[in-house]
A = this chain, B = another copy of it.
Amino acid sequence: MAKDFHGWEAVAVRTVPQGADLRSLRKARGLTLSEVAGELGRSVGWLSQVERDISVPEASELRRLADIFGVPVSLFAAPAARGEEQGRIVRAAARRAIGERTPGLIESLLSPDLTDAFEVIHSTFQPGASRHEPVQRPTAELAMIIEGRLDVWLGPDKFTIARGDAVRVRGEPLRWANPYKSPAVAVWVISPPVY
């Protein structure tokens, strides 16, 4: 299905299947093909084909899909691995960016796609950054700090975690702050996936 002839590869568009990701995103939000297709003004059959990499959406449609799912387009636009590595290896330099939903928090995907029972995110918390509004999700999450220190609140309880420490969150309201001088970097596991 991949059209890899002429000069096509050179452009910044993903040339690899991405339909499965779209399907995961849609399912994770409990939407049906017809709901999304309606929103998009396209037919159900077409969207089904897009999710199975039989049809290809236009860039503008991809943008609207990102919008519908509440994810940044960068999630789709990022370059993917090639050859054998495809779907198996995610190089540090080739991670897909996730929007800076909270200022000072830079996230990127360690998972090659969104089709697993969990997803893994690489998170960098900038010095001085913080999130005051607690996030609360119906998920189980576990983060390990690999660099720096971070303050986290689970409900009312505050903890300071440093390199090598892990925190597990199960549906509790979570907020965080990095009042320290250096960035805090974490590997963040979320199940089920929220992206």
Contact = CB atoms under 8 A, between A and B. Distances in A.
Contact of A166 (B90, B154, B161): B90
Contact of A168 (B87, B162, B164): B87
Kindly report how many copies of this chain are found in the complex they form together.
2
B142 A92 contact: no
A187 B87 contact: no
Contacts of A142: 110-111, 116, 118, 120
Given A90-B165, A110-B144, A144-B187, A84 B118 contact: no
A116 B141 CA distance: 9
A120 B144 contact: yes
Interface of A is mostly: strand
A189 B120 contact: yes
A48 interface: no
A49 to B, nearest CB: 24
Interface of A: 84-85, 87-93, 110-112, 116-118, 120, 122, 140, 142, 144, 146, 154, 157, 159, 161-170, 187, 189, 191-192
A146 B189 CA distance: 15
Q: Pick from A91, A162, A169, A192 the residue with the most CB of B within 10 Å.
A: A91
Given A89-B166, A92-B165, A117-B140, 12 more contacts: A84-B159, A88-B167, A89-B159, A89-B167, A90-B166, A90-B167, A92-B163, A116-B142, A117-B191, A117-B192, A189-B189, A191-B191
